Structure 1
């Protein structure tokens, strides 16, 4: 146990409960990862086989989202219990009088926090396994309806953090372990329509291949995007999920009206990204590219047809017409 109050508080600020208590026989093991994988895969397979060729088939994706959300909500509740117990621990440390009663109460609060933490980690493992099944089934990264999807366990997939939460945490100097650490790469692209399924597939492949190439140059890449549930952002988020790349999602602040998109640009560029990867979009996206170049940020330009480099596409088209 740390010998000074300052040391104890510092340990808590780092998010680690370092006070040792004798937990006796109460310690329970977390479910084995292999057991989680096999069990949830079996449940998922049986559940969606039930929907096939029935009136519920069109609802399968929404029901799958809800299946993942069961574990997310439970993990969030456990996280809340950790916060409450930690507040109690801080209060007890600040009012320590050295008495046996006080020490016993402190140990009980630490034990509650440790139990809640173990529950949270187990539930997050369940959620991340279910989220991977959702990705395999729908091709989309699972995201909660509100807030962030944080993964505190190194064995789970990467964190998906809402941008405003990330900026607030950084401003307050509270770098939580779950917050993405690494080199930001901004991805931007709007919603597109395609004449054929092959065109849509080619566009999706272009996004994944481009991000593969960028990641080859940025090993500790953190993907920063707008969090749109459809279109290019969705494809980029799915790529990040598949490759376990951390994500920071800057959704639009609708309170700002027409300024929302430009404000999001400022926030994303404020992270000082290594690259801006740009696919076709609207005027707000075009402004993002201009601002990135003004700040000497390298732009990977894929705003041409089906995610091609526009200059390269123009040269090929010109050569084809000349021939």
Structure 2
């Protein structure tokens, strides 16, 4: 007995949009937009209803188009240097809303748990529990959709600007992102409390640190490629600066072919000892290797700490960089 695969068909003109979306949208957008809940509560306090979700391909195309349009509009004009800054804000808007939805979802999940642990079997109780569960599911659905759009917009930002997008604070971590960028506070909290898997990179730690002024990215990328070939499941921990050596490392981690979790270990707290305390905590992560670029006394202090901990160190001097005029723009 032979079976045949039914080819997609269009019975009416209105079906074209759906068929096109099914054939072209990425799996991430199909998962986030293609199979919505039968009933959804759009806002707390509203009644459940049959609300439509955006078509997967339309959501993907419009989301990417927003970022691309900014760069196209400003290209070859006096506003071109501002394109990345404006586009960053658009991506951050998705990130802000996703974070707000995540906090609401967590709060609702706690309320559902409290209700489930204290049943009274009344009709009022059952209605409240069902409504709270649906509201939690609806919020999770909204969060997943916004996270999907954020991740795609962030990837468009990376392709257009040559640099990975990272939030001003907190983490960008989701199941759909190619490279999670995780704030150090979330990373340490997850290790201590066994929180969500998406905030808990399990790979061997490779520490990276360098000054805010560093231009020779190709040499650093080559060494990072070499390390990843030996440690394919590595987690890259940087000192969290958004320019210079740390930004070069972040751009490498964000490349699709690398897919390396990145922990941005910035400075938390006040006082002159904060940076040196950060260095000590980096050493306490028990890294398997470190890549350090010559900089201030902070890099020298970190070098000494890691050397005392017998961590293999790859050190790079400023004078050994390729001349700035010969450095090409980072590969997309």
> Does TM, scored on the shorter chain, surpass 0.5?
yes
Report the equivalent of 2:218.
205
Report the equivalent of 2:87.
64
Report the equivalent of 1:89.
112
Does residue 169 of structure 2 align to residue 146 of structure 1? yes
Report the equivalent of 1:132.
155
- Unpaired segments ≥5 residues, structure 2: 1-36, 41-49, 323-332
TM-score by length of 1: 0.77
Does residue 122 of structure 2 align to residue 109 of structure 1? no
Q: How far apart are 1:235 and its partner, in Å?
A: 0.6
Report the equivalent of 1:4.
none
Q: 1:284 to 1:76 in 2, by over 3 A?
A: same
Q: 1:30 to 1:181 in 2, by over 3 A?
A: farther
**In the aligned structure 1, how far is the partner of 2:152 from the partner of 2:165?**
11
**In the aligned structure 1, how far is the partner of 2:252 from the partner of 2:113?**
41
**In the aligned structure 2, how far is the partner of 1:307 from the partner of 1:113?**
53
Report the equivalent of 2:211.
190
Match of 1:237 among 250, 265, 271: 250
**In the aligned structure 2, how far is the partner of 1:100 from the partner of 1:32?**
37
Does residue 302 of structure 2 align to residue 280 of structure 1? no
Does residue 293 of structure 2 align to residue 270 of structure 1? no
Q: How far apart are 1:173 and its partner, in Å?
A: 3.0
Q: Contact 1:37/1:129 (CA < 8 Å) preserved in 2?
A: yes
Report the equivalent of 2:185.
164
Does residue 270 of structure 2 align to residue 249 of structure 1? no
Structure 2 counterpart SS, 1:186:
strand
Q: How far apart are 1:206 and its partner, in Å?
A: 0.8
Q: Contact 2:71/2:160 (CA < 8 Å) preserved in 1?
A: no
Q: How far apart are 1:217 and its partner, in Å?
A: 1.0
Q: 1:300 to 1:177 in 2, by over 3 A?
A: same
Which has the larger helix fraction? 1
**In the aligned structure 1, how far is the partner of 2:206 from the partner of 2:55?**
34
TM-score by length of 2: 0.75
- 1:1-12 equivalent positions in 2, closer than 5 A: none
**In the aligned structure 1, how far is the partner of 2:232 from the partner of 2:58?**
31
Q: How far apart are 1:244 and its partner, in Å?
A: 2.2
- 1:27-46 equivalent positions in 2, closer than 5 A: 35-46=58-69
Q: Residue deviations 1:136-172, cap 9 Å, x none?
A: 2222221112222121x2x322221111222123222
Q: How far apart are 1:28 and its partner, in Å?
A: 7.2
Aligned residues: 275
Q: How far apart are 1:305 and its partner, in Å?
A: 3.1
Structure 2 counterpart SS, 1:96:
coil
Q: CA RMSD in A?
A: 2.4
Q: Contact 1:30/1:122 (CA < 8 Å) preserved in 2?
A: no
Q: 1:287 to 1:28 in 2, by over 3 A?
A: farther
Q: 1:214 to 1:41 in 2, by over 3 A?
A: same
Q: 1:231 to 1:150 in 2, by over 3 A?
A: same
**In the aligned structure 1, how far is the partner of 2:91 from the partner of 2:127?**
38
